[in-house]
Amino acid sequence: METPSIETPISDVQQTSSKKRKIPMSSKFAPSKSAAPGQKDSTVALGTSAPPKLKLTSASNVDAARAVATEPPASIPSEGEMRLKLETGSEVRIPLDIGARVTCRSTRDNEPRTIRVIERRKIPGGAWSHPQCPVEFVQLPGCARPMPGAAATALASDTAPDSGVKVEDLPLGNAPSSAHLLLQQAMAGPAADWEYYVHYLGFNRRMDEWVQLWQLDLTTVEVDAEAAVGADGGGNRKKKKVVEGHDSDSEHADFDPQQLREHEEFTKVKNVDTIELGKHQMDTWYFSPLPPEMKDCKRLYFCEHSLFFFRTRNEMTRHISKWPIRHPPGSEIYRNSAGTVCMYEVDGKKEKTYCQNLCYLAKLFLDHKTLYYDVDLFLFYILCEIDERGSHIVGYFSKEKASEEGYNLACILTLPAYQRKGYGKFLISFSYELSKIENKIGTPERPLSDLGRVSYHGYWTRELLNILRSHEGTISIKDLSDATMIKPDDIVNTLEMLGVIKYQKGQHVLCASAKEVEKHLKAAGGPGLEVDSSRIIWTPYNAEREYNNASLRS
């Protein structure tokens, strides 16, 4: 679960300066370059009345084809192109241009969806090395590069140098669809050895991923003339008034178009694929501005108690063996009666490194504009599960020590491994319980993310309708706000969305039957893990008290 914003940490985990600074951008994949001057592109044509043929413009007989297959890897142009012709007469260039749209089968569920190419890179080991590739490859004796199975079989056994059979007469095999035939042809050349970072149109950026050529239906390729970047890294990429491809604009409602372009360019490609935290491995969702020493590290290993992160498991294991604490720093302010969950309050000024590391971790699962952050100004509330091995971080929320806007929550996250267990609802509820102790009306920082909107709408619905269901007589918006510490604007918006109040003659009037209230409560779901307010041991932050204590220590 995820909500409005992310306070992003400064670039060095060990940095102690309290000044805000911009985090350096992680390395980007450089745009590809054009083929060498004078080099001819290989072309594959898909016919309508005969099996598809392999046609190499640089060779006209089997010997020449075998020579191409046996070239040493160094002689194969790394940026070579291949052009495929469809039955319709249109042409597809491989590797695909950045900005191209095509149907892709998702790695997660194998469902075909339209994607847009965000970035591309060469595949280490070649396209044929992937275990899930549906095209069978055969390694011919003496050939440096494997070939699609049917073509390799024909080349090895059915032809001879003096047979008179031309390369364009070699069938690539019988396949059930033109899309699969086209794929086999595309996989025959070095231009196929690319993978693509893609965005699924209509979905949040957390679904973006790297895919390979065999996951794409090449018969559906559409090139965006304004956004496409060719093999030379150039093309006709233009700035647009409206930034395409961001399908969760409510999360960036306070961006102007230039800010949104800069944000998406900076964070367009995830720099870490997975993390290991405790006993869980989790796929990441977004880019995180990690320190430069973590460049090109596809998996990070986090110590779940200190939140230090490492490139290898051995490094993490050595750190854990020397780290004596088995819980977060700070003060424990809550433990439920069963002794299974607890909450810690951590001051960003006192525990700077821990809080910065927490922000690095959180940014892998939260998408937000800001890449500036000063942890000194925030308090962090860490939710943990408890067992005999210690306390294990489940999620957290943060809040400003002094918010002029009345925010009682700045950033919230339940780690993916612990989602759908009611922890997100617990964190939201806990933030309002602290507001009740402070006797301050609170609201989360805007803008809310898609998951944040759903979570908060459910919480507000349950809190407000439970009061309305049991209340007899009239009740005002202020009464509801005083009872729940929910901001009046949030109360009105929630009840209007539910359709249970209307504005008549200058005031809001409740117009919902008991049956309708029950229906909305059922749709809002259960409260999840409930907060026992009697077990909270907490004193609100007092800046003057902290200043006096600091003066005494000095």
Instruction: From first to last of the 554 residues of the chain, give the pLDDT tens digit.
Output: 444 333 333 333 333 333 333 333 333 333 333 334 344 333 333 333 333 333 332 333 334 333 333 333 333 334 567 888 777 777 888 889 999 999 998 888 889 999 999 999 888 766 555 556 655 655 555 455 555 554 445 444 444 344 443 333 434 333 335 666 677 667 666 777 888 999 999 998 889 999 988 888 888 998 765 555 554 444 444 433 333 444 444 454 555 666 666 767 777 888 899 999 999 999 999 999 999 889 888 899 999 999 999 999 999 999 999 999 999 999 999 999 999 999 999 999 999 999 999 999 999 999 874 544 689 999 999 999 999 999 999 999 999 999 999 999 999 999 999 999 999 999 999 999 999 999 999 999 988 888 889 999 999 999 999 998 888 878 889 999 999 999 999 999 999 999 888 777 777 777 778 888 899 999 999 888 999 999 999 999 987 777 666 666 65
- 357 three-class SS: helix
Topology classification of domain 274-543: Aminopeptidase (3.40.630)
User: Looking at residue 155, what is its pLDDT?
Assistant: 44
In the set 293, 445, 530, 546, the catalytic residue is: 445
User: Looking at residue 513, what is its pLDDT?
Assistant: 80
How far, in Å, are 269, 275, 317, 370, 421 from residue 283 at the CA level?
14, 7, 21, 22, 18
Backbone angles phi, psi at 306, to 5 degrees: -100, -20
Q: Specify the pairing of strand 299-302 against strand 274-277.
A: parallel
**What CATH code would you report for 42-222?**
2.30.30.140
Domain boundaries, the chain: 42-222, 274-543
Q: Establish whether 445 is a catalytic residue.
A: yes
User: Looking at residue 49, what is its pLDDT?
Assistant: 31
Amino acid in position 63:
D
- 325 three-class SS: coil
User: Looking at residue 259, what is its pLDDT?
Assistant: 63
Q: Can you give the pTM of this predicted structure?
A: 0.71
Token pair of 377 as six digits: 């100004």
- 254 three-class SS: coil
Residues 6+ apart with CB under 8 A from 28: 119, 269
Closest Cα to residue 373, out of 10, 24, 23?
10
Segment 324-332 long-range contacts (CB within 8 Å, at least 24 positions apart): 326/389, 326/390, 326/391, 327/384, 327/390, 327/391, 328/354, 328/382, 328/384, 328/391, 328/393, 329/354, 330/380, 330/382
User: Looking at residue 148, what is its pLDDT?
Assistant: 53
User: Looking at residue 240, what is its pLDDT?
Assistant: 38
User: Looking at residue 445, what is its pLDDT?
Assistant: 94
Closest Cα to residue 170, out of 252, 82, 69?
69
| β-sheet bridge partners, residue 467 | none
Q: What is the DSSP string of 480-511?
A: HHHHH-B-HHHHHHHHHHHT-EEEETTEEEE-
Locate all alpha helices (DSSP H) within 311-391, ordered by sequence.
313-322, 352-363
- As a whole number of Å, the CA-based R_g of the chain is 29
Q: How far apart are CA 81 and CA 67, in angstroms?
A: 18
